[in-house]
Amino acid sequence: MQRNATTRYPILLVHGLFGFERIGRFELFHDVKQALRDVGNRVFVPQLSATHDNEVRGQQLLMQIDRVLAGTGASKVNVIGHSQGALACRYAAALAPEKVASVTSVSGPNHGSEVADLLRKALVPGQIPERTAHEIATQFANFLTLLSGRRTLPQNAVAALGALTREGVSQFNRTYPQGLPTTWGGQGAEVVDGVRYYSWSGVLPAAPTENLLEFNPVHRVCRVLSRHFTVEAGQNDGFVGRYSSHLGSVIRSDYPFDHMDSLRRTHGPSIDPIELYVEQALRLRAADL
């Protein structure tokens, strides 16, 4: 029997750093968008700068929220942000809470990323061991070669990287603290200024099979980057630490996913990441959002 997971307000799926349309055969948000539409939702995917700071991307999101509201006649939207997209969603909700019904952070670096810290330091010679800097820079470059998409909006990779470091996000959080936990690893306020806040994320599962490493290059990159976490060693998805992702009502932060698994269907016996978005739509519907 088809579940009724139609939300009151339209849903916007907001991409993160180096937002793209496809990785090989994989279209970003394709499965998520289709699953949400299948249960009756109006779903939109705004295009933000692939690389820029949180405020610039947040302003772009606000403009596209206005377009969705004008086009649909809705009074608010539900925003779901993946990775850095969560920070753009938080910015929009802070500046225009009357237009945002809910913010859902999926694998969002709400307290910054240790990988961003290391990558930022790698831009300054002598700050970290050369071998470490070389490995991180190489793996990150390998990851970027997998990404493609439009680059019509302004881009600033250095600003984006700085905005994702723990220091950069800490500064952002001082201005936009809505939904943040008051204790490390805790939950934040679920409702702030009439906006509901939710989050979920994953950690890398046990050592993968050779087949997974061979046929999933993104997972391989996440594995390598994961080695450089210290604060959340063994408790991260390759880009974002488990507790760094916490925001508002934490649905769960240890799903067996790498950073990109939270956007696609996995082929193993574990939890279907796409089903989580349908469950969230049901949750929003129950809250009359």
How confident is residue 249, by pLDDT bands cut at 50, 70 and 90? very high
**Maximum Cα–Cα distance for the chain, whole Å?**
61
- What per-residue confidence (pLDDT) applies to 94? 98
User: Tens digit of pLDDT for each residue in 151-164?
Assistant: 567 777 777 888 99
Per residue in 102-128, pLDDT tens?
999 999 999 999 999 987 776 665 555
pLDDT of residue 1: 41
- Report DSSP state, residue 238: S
Out of 53, 237, 258, 261, the active site residue is 237
pLDDT at 87 over 80: yes
Position 274, amino acid: I
83 noted as active-site residue: yes
> Apex CA 287: angle with CA 284 and CA 289, to 5°?
55
**Residue 138: predicted pLDDT:** 43
Could you give the angle at the alpha carbon of 181 between the alpha carbons of 7 and 80, nearest 5°? 25
> Span 36-40, mean pLDDT?
95
Q: What's the confidence (pLDDT) of residue 48?
A: 86
Residue 223's pLDDT is 87
List Cβ neighbours of 96 (8 Å cut-off, separation of 6 or more).
62, 65
Predicted local confidence at residue 21, as pLDDT: 47
CB–CB of 67/10 below 8 Å?
A: no
pTM (2 d.p.): 0.88
- Give the side-chain half-sphere CA count within 13 A for 58: 21
* Overall average pLDDT of the 160-175 stretch: 93
Contacts of 224 (CB under 8 A, 6+ apart): 135, 139
Q: How far apart are CA 96 and CA 62, in angstroms?
A: 8
- With pLDDT > 70 as the criterion, what percentage of the chain qualifies? 80
Examine the residue annotation and report whether 237 is marked as an active-site residue of this protein: yes
Contact 60, 49 (CB under 8 A): yes
Which has more confidence, 221 or 209? 221
- Residue 125: per-residue pLDDT: 54
Q: Which fold is adopted by the domain 11-286?
A: Rossmann fold (3.40.50)
**If you average pLDDT over residues 188-200, what whole number do you get?**
98
Query: Residue 164: helix, strand or coil by DSSP?
Result: helix
% the chain with pLDDT above 90: 62
What is the model's pLDDT at position 127?
56
Helical residues (DSSP H) of the chain, grouped into ranges: 30-38, 54-72, 85-95, 114-122, 130-145, 157-164, 166-175, 210-215, 217-226, 273-286
Q: In this predicted model, which residue has the larger pLDDT, 167 or 218?
A: 167
Q: Which of 79, 107, 120, 121 is nearest to 252 (CA)?
A: 107
Query: Taking the alpha carbons of 262, 264, 268, 269 in that order, is the dihedral positive or negative?
Result: positive
Tell me the mean pLDDT in the region 19-41: 77
Q: How far apart are CA 268 and CA 288, in angstroms?
A: 34
HSE, CB side, 13 Å, CA atoms: give it for residue 264.
16
53-67, 102-116, 153-167, 211-225: segment of lowest average pLDDT? 211-225
* Active-site choice (15, 111, 228, 259): 259
Please provide the average confidence, as pLDDT, over all residues in the chain: 85
CA 48 to chain centre: 13
The mean pLDDT value for 163-168 works out to: 94
- Asked whether the beta carbons of 69 and 44 are under 8 A apart, the reply is no
- Which residue out of 49, 83, 249, 262 is catalytically annotated? 83
**21: which DSSP letter?**
S
